[in-house]
Structure 1
Amino acid sequence: MIIEPRDDADVPRFIADLGLPGLADIHVHFLPERMLTKVWDYFDRSAERTGRPWPITYRHDTATRLRIARDLGLARIPALTYPHKPGMAAWLNDWNAEFAAAHPDVLHCATLYPESGIGEEVERVLEAGAQLFKVHIQVGAFSPDDPLLVPAWTAIARAGVPVVIHAGSAPLPGEFTGPEAVAAVLARHPELRLVIAHMGMPEYHAFADLAEQYPGVHLDTTMFNTDFTNATTPFDAAYRERLPGLREKIVLGSDFPNIPYPYAHQLQALCRLGDESDGFGDPWLRAALWDNGARLLGIG
Structure 2
Amino acid sequence: MTSLHPPADDADVPRYWRELGLPGLVDVHVHFLPDPVQAKVWQYFAQAETHYGAGWPITYALPVDERLAVLDRLGVRAFPTLPYPHKPGMAAWLNEWSAAFARRDPRVLRSATFYPEPEAAGYVAEALAGGTRVFKVHVQVGRFDPRDPLLDEVWAGLEEAGTPVVIHCGSGPLAGEHTGPEPVTGLLERYPRLQLVVAHLGMPEYRDFLELAERYERVHLDTTMFATDFTERLMPFDPADRPRLSALRAKVLLGSDFPSIPYPYAHQLQALHRLGLGEEWLRAVLWENGARLFDLEA
What is the TM-score of this pair, normalised by structure 1?
0.97
Q: Deviations over 1:121-149 (max 9, x none)?
A: 11000000000101000000001111111
Which whole-Å CA distance do the structure 2 matches of 1:168 and 1:195 have between them? 12
Within 5 Å, give how 1:26-41 maps onto structure 2.
26-41=28-43
Structure 1 counterpart of 2:120: 118
Write the distance in 1 (CA, Å) between the matches of 2:196 and 2:230.
25
Preserved CA contact (<8 Å) 1:164 1:196: yes
Residue 202 (structure 2) aligns with = 200
How far the C-alpha of 1:50 sits from its partner, in A, is 1.8
Q: CA deviation at 1:299?
A: 1.1
Residue equivalent to 2:245 = 243
Residue-pair matches, total = 295
User: Counterparts of 1:266 and 1:145 in 2: how far apart (Å)?
Assistant: 32
Structure 1: how far apart are the matches of 2:53 and 2:5?
A: 35
Q: Which structure 1 residue ranges, 5 or more long, are not aligned?
A: 275-279
Contact 1:47 1:54 in 2 (8 A): yes
Superposed CA deviations along residues 67-126 of structure 1, whole A, max 9, x for unmatched, are 101111111121111000000000000001111112222111000100012111110000
Unaligned runs of 5+ in 2: none
Q: What's the counterpart of residue 11 of structure 2? A: 9
Offset from partner CA, 1:233-267 (integer Å, 9 cap, x none) = 00112222211111111100000000000000000
Aligned residues with identical type, % of pairs: 58
Q: In the TM superposition, what are the counterparts of 1:127-276 in structure 2 within 5 Å? A: 127-274=129-276
| Inter-partner Cα distance in structure 2 for 1:66 and 1:160 | 28
Deviation at 1:290, TM superposition (A): 0.7
Structure 1 Cα separation of the partners of residues 105 and 273 of structure 2: 31
Structure 1 distance, partners of 2:239, 2:20, is 26
Corresponding letter in the other structure for 1:103:
D
Deviation readout 1:152-185 (Å, 9 max, x if unpaired): 1111111111010000000010000001111111
Q: Which residue of 2 aligns with 1:293?
A: 290
Q: Deviations over 1:6-65 (max 9, x none)?
A: 000000000100000110110000000000000000000000122211000001000000
Residue 19, structure 1, aligned to residue 21, structure 2: yes
For 1:32, give the aligned amino acid: P
Any idea what the Cα deviations from partners look like across 1:171-203, whole Å, max 9, x if unmatched? Answer: 010000001111111111111110000000000
**TM-score scaled by length of structure 2:** 0.98
Runs of at least 4 residues off by over 6 Å: none
